[in-house]
Amino acid sequence: MRMLVFGHGYSAGFLTPLLRARGWQVLGTTRADPDRVAAAGAVPIPWPGEDARLRVEIAAADAILVSAAPGPAGDPVLAAFRDDLARARPRWLGYLSTTGVYGDRGGDWVDEDSPLDATGPRGQARIRAEADWRALSDQAGLPLHIFRLAGIYGPGRGPFEKVRNGTARRIIKPGQVFSRIHAEDIARVLLASLDRPAPGTAYNVCDDDPAPPQDVLAHAAHLLDLPPPPEVAFEDAPMTPMARSFYADNKRVSNRRIKEDLGVRLRHPDYRSGLAAILAAEGASPHGLSPAPVHDPRHE
């Protein structure tokens, strides 16, 4: 079996070893980091660049996962390979979207049937991309599955480095919560979908515990045996425009469908389990060093 991944990044790096253990061959596109893709066990394909090879691989793939984000001109995979995809016959096609498509709900719950009401440019771009993939799927009979990911964290993507070096701040915006998902559990959900394909279905991929970001930082400090980072009111917090934009959306995301339809049991059902796992995966101990994290505004 052959899996082709467009945008073989952080999340795909957790899925590839699971597929390889089942005997799959995985090929993944990358812009500039073929060594990282190869280290995960996938065959790297430079893209943009090797379009002719990718047309061959699209035709040969048993499964295709699209992790590339939409740009100003829309979805880059559709822009380059719409006709090739329309002729392809994979048994499974996955598109990684985001829970940002639901917009702000004032802390209320959303599920996969909730309206897509994003107002920010990134959320709106994802809504358009989802619609474009659905249109192609309907036209060509592709077995599309949409996965709306919450805030991703895992080894190398956590709050520990900022807590250790004293730069973390607990930003307080009363009533604000975020949903999250550990990268290991993203891979488990995708694998479960491959085992139980249900074309046309969307899945929220998040844990059981939407939580205020300041609680996550406080628990990270507790695990490191350090005092909690200082509190800063949201209005006074120095943040980039992108980081601040994350706080415009406040919602709790239901993950019932991945449990009931796919039979998923989350390895990390809340941030407490996930943070403990990050320390274990990084081989870190209290006050020890860990790899520099990839920035995530939810860990400000």
- Percent of residues, the chain, with pLDDT higher than 70: 94
Least confident of 71-80, 261-270, 286-295: 286-295
Domain ranges of the chain: 2-151+182-205, 157-181+208-253+269-299
- Residues contacting 235, CB < 8 A, separation 6+: none
What pLDDT is stored for residue 50 in this prediction? 93
2-151+182-205 with 157-181+208-253+269-299: one CATH topology? yes
5: confidence class by pLDDT, cuts 50, 70, 90: very high
CATH topology of domain 157-181+208-253+269-299: Rossmann fold (3.40.50)
pLDDT higher than threshold 90 for residue 300? no
What pLDDT is stored for residue 289 in this prediction? 32
Rounded-to-integer distance, Cα 189 and Cα 194, Å: 9
Average pLDDT of the residues in 34-43: 97
Please state the pTM of the whole predicted model: 0.93
- Percent of residues, the chain, with pLDDT higher than 90: 88
Of 252, 246, 20, 202, nearest in space to 96 by CA: 202
What pLDDT is stored for residue 144 in this prediction? 98
Residues 2-151+182-205, CATH architecture? 3-Layer(aba) Sandwich (3.40)
Rounded-to-integer distance, Cα 274 and Cα 157, Å: 11
Q: Following DSSP, what letter does each residue of 178-211 receive, concatenated?
A: B-EEEHHHHHHHHHHHHHS--TT-EEEE--S--B
Burial class (CB in 10 A: 0-12, 13-18, 19+), 191: middle
281: confidence class by pLDDT, cuts 50, 70, 90: confident
294: confidence class by pLDDT, cuts 50, 70, 90: very low
Q: Does the bond joining 291 to the residue before it have cis omega, within 30 degrees of 0?
A: no
Residue range 103-115, pLDDT digits in tens:
999 999 999 999 9
192: confidence class by pLDDT, cuts 50, 70, 90: very high
What pLDDT is stored for residue 282 in this prediction? 78
